[in-house]
Amino acid sequence: MTTPGELLGSQLRRDPSRPLLTFYDDATGERVELSVATTANWVAKTANFLLDEQGVEPGDLIGVTLPLHWQTAVVLLASWEVGASIGFDETGVVNVVVAGQPSTGDGERIELSLAPMGVDFSRLVAAQPDQFVATDATGDDIVDAAPIDLPSGARVLSVLSLADPLGLGYGLIGPLAVDGSAVYVANPDPARLADRAASENVTHTVGVDIGGLPRL
């Protein structure tokens, strides 16, 4: 069985410099592009942070209440690397939320402002090692359930939350499995989506119709 971390590791060995996650926020004009190598670095640092600073152990539940964002993808991948499960509508031993969001549950709270370029996220995990060796990684069930029927090299534009099964399957796991990549558009401006898809060489969409492109 294959975990998301193993899919990312395979991509890292194959072509570390190619784009993997591209994030747009149409409300702010922000654009961030992460290569495979940069994504893997963020995931390693975050996994080390969860293990060493938050004391997450294999089998623990991590609650994630975050919008569509590249940082959300990193948190999910890191959580699976340390052997945790994800609760999108549950509270766990650690809960990752948007700064200012009301508290729920008794677990540790990690607040992310989702500031441009991951400024606060970087401060949180910057001191952590750049490598993480997973010994109890989870997420193989997520890979098994994902709709991995994309063509090789697919570039998927998604407006769906990663808490949505289609958003997770086609917006993260599927691209990892087929040497593909994802373009996340938060607060999408319908008038700009077609140009965005063209400039980013998008091949498929999730959660939105864009003329001439297959919607998954």
From residue 49, give the alpha-carbon distance in Å to each of 42, 84, 174.
Answer: 10, 13, 26
Nearest partner of 176 among 143, 206, 134, 203, judged by Cα: 143
pLDDT digits (tens, 9 = 90+) for 161-175: 999 999 999 999 999
Residue 1: pLDDT band with limits 50, 70, 90 = confident
Residue 103: pLDDT band with limits 50, 70, 90 = low
Residue 117: pLDDT band with limits 50, 70, 90 = confident
Q: Are 171 and 183 in contact (CB under 8 A)?
A: no
* Averaged pLDDT, 99-128: 86
**pLDDT reported for residue 88:** 93
**pLDDT reported for residue 149:** 87
For the chain, give the mean pLDDT: 94
**Poorest-pLDDT segment among 67-81, 112-126, 135-149, 172-186:** 112-126
Cα–Cα distance between 202 and 216 in angstroms, integer? 13
**Poorest-pLDDT segment among 36-50, 59-73, 97-111, 188-202:** 97-111
Residue 211: partners with Cβ closer than 8 Å, 6 or more residues away: 194
Is the pLDDT at 102 greater than 80? The verdict is no
Cα–Cα distance between 137 and 83 in angstroms, integer? 4
CATH of domain 4-206: 3.40.50.12780
Concatenate the DSSP letters of all residues of 112-162 into one string.
Answer: E---GGGHHHHHHHTTS-S----SS---HHHHHHS---PPTT-EEEE-S-T
pLDDT digits (tens, 9 = 90+) for 40-98: 999 999 999 999 999 999 999 999 999 999 999 999 999 999 999 999 978 899 999 99
* Averaged pLDDT, 135-162: 94
What residues pair up with 23 in beta bridges, in sequence order?
32, 184
From residue 26, give the alpha-carbon distance in Å to each of 148, 175, 184.
Answer: 28, 23, 10
What three-state secondary structure class fits 168?
helix
**What are the boundaries of each domain within the chain?**
4-206
Nearest partner of 123 among 131, 133, 113, 108, judged by Cα: 113
What residues pair up with 85 in beta bridges, in sequence order?
61
pLDDT digits (tens, 9 = 90+) for 118-130: 788 989 999 999 9
**pLDDT reported for residue 148:** 80
